[in-house]
Amino acid sequence: MEVKNGIIIYGVLHELVETKRNDCSKCSLRNECYSSDYLICDMFGAGKYEYFVNRGKVTDIKIDKEE
């Protein structure tokens, strides 16, 4: 699986996806946002119709290097 916009928190991958409506209640990181002074979506520059989806536990990370 290739992920362009994602964050790993506590070993779980959360990917930023585009949706058709603005609904923070479906975001997998909403509890993290509610317990902090900032919004994670703002840090990623997410649009009005984007939120994070839980993609599961990370077991192997492969990084392609640009030359």
Name residues of the chain where pLDDT drops below 50: none
Measured CA distances, 26 to 22, 41, 61 (Å): 9, 13, 26
Side-chain-side CA neighbours of 58 within 13 Å: the count stands at 16
Q: What is the pTM of this model?
A: 0.74
Is the separation of the CB atoms in 66 and 41 below 8 Å? no
The reported pLDDT for the residue numbered 4 is 74
Output the pLDDT for position 1: 67
31-50, pLDDT tens digit by residue?
887 777 777 887 877 878 88
